[in-house]
Structure 1
Amino acid sequence: MGQSHSIDEPRSKEEIAGELAEKFARKCFEPLELYSFKDNFKNLADHEQDVRYLKEDTIARFLELPDILDVSPVVFHMLSYIGAFPFLSDAPAVLGFEQMISVVAIMTERYTKILVKGAATRRKLLFKSLAVYDRDMSEKQTETAEKAGLKGEPSDARSHVAGFPVDEPGEEFDEHETADDDELVLAALDSLDLIDAFKTGDKHSATTHGAMIPADNFRRLIMLLLLVAPLDAQETLSNYAERVLGEELESLRATAENILSTFLNVEKSPGITFAQFNRVLPLNFPFLFNGFNALFEHFLFSNNLDLSRRKDSISKSIPPLIAKPPLLQDKGQILNLNVLSQLSFFIPGDELFWKLRLLYSGADAGFSMGSFETKVFNWRAPTILLVSGTRLNASSQAHGSEATFTESLPPKRFPNGTPPGRDRVVFGVMVRQPWRHTHKECFGDSDTILFQLSPTHDVFPASIVNKDYIDFSRTPGTFSGITIGCPHPKSAQSSRHPTVRALGPVSLVIDSSFEFGIFTHDYTSRGGAFATSTSRKFNFQDRFAIEDIEVWGCGGDAEAKIQKERWDWEAREAEARRRINLSTGDQEADRALLEMAGLIGNNRSGGSIA
Structure 2
Amino acid sequence: MGQALSNEEAAVPSHEELTKKLADNFAQKCFTPLELYSLKDVFKGLADQEQDVRYLKEVTVTRFLDIPDALGVGPVLFRLISYIGAFPFLHDAPAVLGLEQMIMVVTILTDRYRRVLTSGGTNRRKLLFQGLAVYDHKLSEMSSSGRVKLGPHDDRMRTNQDGNAPSAAYPPTGFAVDEPSDDEDPGFDDKDGLVLAAFDSLDCISAFKYGDVTLTHNAMIPADNFRRFIMLLLLIAPLGAQESVSSYSSRLSGGELESLRETADCILAAFLNVEQAPGIKAPRFHTIIPASMPYIFNGLAPLLEHFLFSNNLDLHRRCDEHQTANLLQEPVQPLLQASGSIMNLNILSQLSFFIPGSSLFRRLRLLYSGDEDGFSMGSFESKVFNWRAPTILLVSGTRLSEEALHARSGPTSAFLSTLPSQRFPSGGTSESKQAKLTFGVYLSQPWKHTHRECFGDEETVLFQLQPVHDVFRASKMNKDYASFTKPSASAPLGGISFGCPPPQSSQAHRRSNILSLGPVSLVLEDSFEFGCFTHDYTSQGGAFQTSVARKFDFQERFEISSVEVWGCGGDEEAKLQAERWAWEAREAEARRKVNLGTGDIEADRALLEMAGLIGANRSGGSMA
Verify same fold: TM over 0.5: yes
**Shift, 1:325, TM fit:** 1.3
CA contact under 8 A between 1:172 and 1:273: conserved in structure 2? no
- Give the direction of change, closer, same or farther, for the CA distance of 1:364–1:311 in structure 2 (3 Å limit): closer
**Shift, 1:411, TM fit:** 2.3
**Matched residues, percent identical?**
59
Supply the AA of the counterpart residue of 1:591: A
**Equivalents in 2 of 1:7, 1:54: separation in Å?**
33
**Equivalents in 2 of 1:448, 1:493: separation in Å?**
31
**Shift, 1:592, TM fit:** 7.2
Supply the AA of the counterpart residue of 1:456: V
**Shift, 1:321, TM fit:** 9.4
Paired residues for 1:176-575 under 5 Å: 176-177=188-189, 179=190, 181-199=191-209, 201-203=210-212, 205-310=213-318, 323-396=331-404, 397-398=406-407, 399-422=409-432, 423-477=435-489, 478=491, 479-490=493-504, 494=508, 497-575=511-589
- Give the direction of change, closer, same or farther, for the CA distance of 1:93–1:241 in structure 2 (3 Å limit): same
Paired residues for 1:150-165 under 5 Å: none
**Shift, 1:171, TM fit:** 12
Which residue among 585, 591, 597 is the counterpart of 2:611? 591
Which residue among 30, 33, 36 is the counterpart of 1:31? 33
TM-score normalised to structure 2 length: 0.85
Which residue among 120, 126, 129 is the counterpart of 1:127? 129
- Give the direction of change, closer, same or farther, for the CA distance of 1:564–1:592 in structure 2 (3 Å limit): farther
Supply the AA of the counterpart residue of 1:484: F
SS class of match (1:81): helix
Taking only aligned residues, the RMSD between alpha carbons, in angstroms, comes to 2.5
Supply the AA of the counterpart residue of 1:441: E
Supply the AA of the counterpart residue of 1:438: T
Paired residues for 1:157-176 under 5 Å: 173=185, 175-176=187-188
SS class of match (1:524): helix
CA contact under 8 A between 2:270 and 2:288: conserved in structure 1? yes
CA contact under 8 A between 2:188 and 2:283: conserved in structure 1? no
**Equivalents in 2 of 1:20, 1:395: separation in Å?**
65
SS class of match (1:103): helix
**Shift, 1:8, TM fit:** 7.7
Supply the AA of the counterpart residue of 1:569: W
Supply the AA of the counterpart residue of 2:476: I
**Shift, 1:185, TM fit:** 0.3
CA contact under 8 A between 2:86 and 2:95: conserved in structure 1? yes
**Shift, 1:133, TM fit:** 1.1
**Shift, 1:530, TM fit:** 0.4
TM-score normalised to structure 1 length: 0.87
Q: Deviations over 1:3-22 (max 9, x none)?
A: 9x959832101110111011
- Give the direction of change, closer, same or farther, for the CA distance of 1:269–1:110 in structure 2 (3 Å limit): same
Q: Deviations over 1:57-103 (max 9, x none)?
A: 00000000000000000001101110110000111111111001100
**Structure 2, unpaired ranges of 5+:** 143-181, 615-624
Structure 2 match to 1:604: none
Structure 2 match to 1:19: 21
Structure 2 match to 1:154: none
Q: Deviations over 1:249-298 (max 9, x none)?
A: 01100000000000000010010001100110101010000000000000
- Tell which deviates more after alignment, 123-132 or 579-588: 579-588
CA contact under 8 A between 2:129 and 2:285: conserved in structure 1? yes
**Structure 1, unpaired ranges of 5+:** 141-169, 595-610
**Shift, 1:109, TM fit:** 0.6
**Equivalents in 1 of 2:126, 2:9: separation in Å?**
33
Supply the AA of the counterpart residue of 1:467: K
SS class of match (1:552): strand
**Shift, 1:465, TM fit:** 3.2
- Give the direction of change, closer, same or farther, for the CA distance of 1:310–1:499 in structure 2 (3 Å limit): closer
- Give the direction of change, closer, same or farther, for the CA distance of 1:592–1:383 in structure 2 (3 Å limit): farther
**Shift, 1:378, TM fit:** 0.2
**Equivalents in 2 of 1:246, 1:474: separation in Å?**
43
**Shift, 1:116, TM fit:** 1.3
**Shift, 1:568, TM fit:** 1.3
**Shift, 1:495, TM fit:** 5.5
Supply the AA of the counterpart residue of 1:404: A
Supply the AA of the counterpart residue of 1:481: G
Q: Which runs of 4+ in 1 moved over 3 A?
A: 5-8, 308-312, 319-323, 491-498, 582-590
